[in-house]
Structure formats: structure tokens, C-alpha cells
């Protein structure tokens, strides 16, 4: 990305001045005083999606105890649209002072760079990692009439009928789409992709038998599995899920296959390190609370998981490399 493009679409001149001012202020303060005084007013957590989705639900679970730990209210602000880029850009343009947090999902900082032309921010340079929030997995299911009860069954069926089996997703470039493509790549099979506008519509058609397979979020699948319309085949995590101990992993059939669904918190780059550390310490404490874990589990949310800023940064880089390769091989072009 050129400097000219970054000036136009990224944090811009005003943001650069704000970051410089924050760093200058930090340099004048005694070591540790920033972390001790921060925050002195409410903190915004921007969720770059509309209310009611999984990200919004988890953000609200975390915001209240995080506010209690910080001693200030954490206000969840939904800024949906354009695959998460509108809300993400708002964080990139906010002052680098720790009062505006990004609730991130894989799209804004990982896959959107490959799927969208002219992002209004630089996903690498405009943000500083704070901590993971959750890390879960997708569940692979088939319609009850598909004659496959395991990953190996499904692979054999797909090899016998190249391109005939179909898999649903919540949209081109969505995690559910890329997971299906990764399965095809690693298993050496071909299935036809059927994109929908959202997970709910996709799962309805799989349950009705109009599409064969889905690899998507577990929560919305539960009633369809309980009704007998969907059959669980495997989870996409490296290890079996404690909630589904009898469902094998895809990796038990295809070693090395892993798809995790991560949510995380970032701030604007240039935010003073003592503030990032203060936020990280608060999140680590909040996410370790068994009561929060149980509330999230009961709601079907992914389990809370914290990290250091450095661990989150490394994970983001790994995910960028992994999904960039999948997207290039599938031939999805930015739009």
C-alpha cells in the first residue's frame, strides 16, 4: 500500500497528529502513571456489525465486567455495514488514547484485505492488538438424507460425484465459505459453493435438503440438529469440543485441518503501551471468570480466551497468511 493511499484511506493527517500528541503526552508523564489514571471517562467498544449477531452478543457479555474492572462504563456501539469496514474505519480514525476499542472478527483485519478493494484503513499499520476475546470452532453438518456419517464418508461421496455435492455459506468470502474451500483443497475434492445472505438462510436450505453440507457456527444449528434435520459430522478445531465430545475433529481424518473462529480487541496504533497493558490485564482477569464463561456457554457463544498483545499479533499474522493462500487459490478477487 502506498503512502498516498494510506493518507487517503487510513488514519489520515488528523489521526497522525492525534497519535503524535498521545505519544508526546505519554513521554511527559511518569512511568506507570498513564496506566494508573486510565480511564477517566467511559470507553467505547465499537462492534462493526449490526445488533443481534454473535459479535454483538459477546461484546455485551464482556463490556459490563470490563467496565467494572476498569472503573468506567464500557459502552458497546454498533457500526455495521460493508463487511465490518465502516466500524473498523471509525476506530482507525479515533484518537490513539485507549478510549475507543475495536471488537474484531476475522473479516476486518484478516480477510477483508483480500476481498475488498480500497479498504478505508490499513489493517496492519492502523491497529495495535490488545487481547483475544474468544476462540471457537465451526461445526460441519450434512442434511439428514446425505449418505455420509463421517468426514471420510463425505470425502468418498464427493470423489465419486465430483462437483455434485453442494455446500452453503453465509456469503462469498465468509468464514463458512473459506472453510468449505479449505476442506476441498486439503481433501482433494470438488464441491459446489452456494452463497446466501447470512447463516440463517443457508442453514434453512441445508436442513430442507436443497443444499448438502454446511461448515458454520454451532449455535444456530442446535435446533435443526435437535429436530433431526441436520447431522453433525465434525468440528473444525484442533481438539474435540467439550460441548460435543462425541463429534470428531476434521483433523482426525485430514491431519492439519483447523479452522478457529476468533474474536479480539484492538486499539488505534500509537496508543501508549501502558494503556494497552492496562486493557490487557483487565481483559485477562474478566475472561478468566467462571461465571462469564458459563453465561457465554449457555448462550451458545464461543468460549472466552485471553492472550498477550504479542500472541494476538502473531495469531493475526498467521491467519492472514493462511486465508490469503486459500482466497488466492480459489480465485476470489477484490470487489
Dump pLDDT digits (tens) for 178-192: 999 999 999 999 999
> Across-strand partners of 103?
265
Residues 146 and 231 sit within 8 Å (Cβ to Cβ):
yes
Which residues in the chain show pLDDT less than 50? 1-31
d(Cα 73, Cα 311) in Å, to the nearest integer? 27
This prediction has a pTM of: 0.81
Which pLDDT belongs to residue 231? 97
Residues 159 and 132 sit within 8 Å (Cβ to Cβ):
no
Matching CATH number, 3-134+261-330, of 3.40.190.150, 3.30.1490.20, 1.10.1740.10, 1.20.210.10? 3.40.190.150
From 187, 186, 193, 189, select the one nearest 212 (Cα to Cα).
193
d(Cα 151, Cα 140) in Å, to the nearest integer? 9
Which pLDDT belongs to residue 170? 87
Handedness of CA 46, 49, 51, 55 (dihedral sign): negative
d(Cα 7, Cα 225) in Å, to the nearest integer? 49
Which pLDDT belongs to residue 199? 86
Q: Do domains 3-134+261-330 and 136-252 have the same CATH topology?
A: yes
d(Cα 146, Cα 154) in Å, to the nearest integer? 9
Domain 136-252 classification at class level: alpha beta
Which pLDDT belongs to residue 16? 44
Which pLDDT belongs to residue 245? 92
Sort 246 into a burial class: Cβ within 10 Å, 0-12 / 13-18 / 19+: exposed
3-state helix, strand, coil in the chain (%, to 5): 45, 20, 35
Buried-exposed string 13-30: b where 16+ CB fall within 10 A, e elsewhere: eebeebbeebeeebeeee
Whether cis (ω within 30° of 0) applies to the bond prior to 39 is: yes
Give kind and range of the element (H or E) at residue 74: strand 74-78
Q: Is 276 helix (H, G, I), strand (E, B) or coil?
A: helix
For residue 297, give every residue at least 6 positions away whose Cβ sits within 8 Å of its Cβ, in sequence order, or none: 243, 303
Which pLDDT belongs to residue 211? 98
Q: Where are the domains of the chain?
A: 3-134+261-330, 136-252
Q: What separation in angstroms does the CA of 87 have from each of 93, 102, 174?
A: 10, 8, 18
Dump pLDDT digits (tens) for 251-264: 999 999 999 989 99
d(Cα 211, Cα 277) in Å, to the nearest integer? 47
Amino acid at each position: 500500500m502506498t503512502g498516498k493511499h494510506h493518507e487517503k484511506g487510513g488514519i489520515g493527517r488528523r489521526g497522525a497528529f492525534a497519535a503524535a500528541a498521545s505519544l508526546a503526552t505519554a513521554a511527559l508523564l511518569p512511568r506507570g502513571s498513564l496506566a494508573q489514571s486510565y480511564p477517566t471517562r467511559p470507553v467505547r467498544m465499537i462492534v462493526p456489525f449490526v445488533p443481534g449477531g454473535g459479535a454483538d452478543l459477546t461484546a455485551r457479555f464482556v463490556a459490563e465486567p470490563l467496565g467494572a474492572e476498569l472503573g468506567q462504563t464500557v459502552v458497546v456501539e454498533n457500526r455495521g455495514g460493508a463487511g465490518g469496514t465502516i466500524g473498523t474505519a471509525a476506530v482507525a480514525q479515533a484518537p490513539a488514547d485507549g478510549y475507543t476499542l475495536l471488537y474484531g472478527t476475522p473479516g476486518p483485519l484478516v480477510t477483508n484485505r483480500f476481498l475488498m478493494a480500497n479498504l478505508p484503513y490499513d489493517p496492519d499499520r492502523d491497529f495495535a492488538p490488545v487481547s483475544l476475546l474468544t476462540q471457537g470452532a465451526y461445526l460441519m453438518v450434512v442434511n439428514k438424507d446425505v449418505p455420509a456419517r463421517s468426514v471420510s464418508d463425505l470425502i468418498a461421496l464427493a470423489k465419486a460425484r465430483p462437483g455434485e455435492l453442494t455446500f452453503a455459506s453465509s456469503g462469498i468470502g465468509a468464514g463458512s465459505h473459506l472453510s468449505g474451500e479449505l476442506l476441498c483443497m486439503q481433501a482433494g475434492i470438488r464441491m459446489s459453493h452456494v452463497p446466501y445472505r447470512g447463516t440463517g438462510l443457508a442453514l434453512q436450505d441445508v436442513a430442507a435438503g436443497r443444499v448438502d453440507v454446511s461448515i458454520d457456527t454451532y449455535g444456530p444449528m442446535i435446533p435443526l440438529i435437535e429436530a433431526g434435520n441436520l447431522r453433525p459430522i465434525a468440528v473444525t478445531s484442533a481438539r474435540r469440543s467439550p460441548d460435543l465430545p462425541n463429534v470428531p475433529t476434521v483433523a482426525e481424518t485430514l491431519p492439519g485441518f483447523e479452522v478457529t473462529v476468533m474474536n479480539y480487541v484492538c486499539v488505534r496504533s500509537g496508543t501508549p503501551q501502558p494503556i494497552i497493558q492496562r486493557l490487557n490485564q483487565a481483559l485477562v482477569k474478566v475472561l478468566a471468570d467462571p461465571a462469564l464463561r458459563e453465561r457465554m456457554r449457555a448462550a451458545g457463544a464461543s468460549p472466552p480466551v485471553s492472550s498477550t498483545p504479542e500472541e494476538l499479533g502473531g495469531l493475526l499474522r498467521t491467519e492472514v497468511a493462511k486465508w490469503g493462500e486459500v482466497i488466492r487459490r480459489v480465485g476470489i478477487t477484490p470487489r
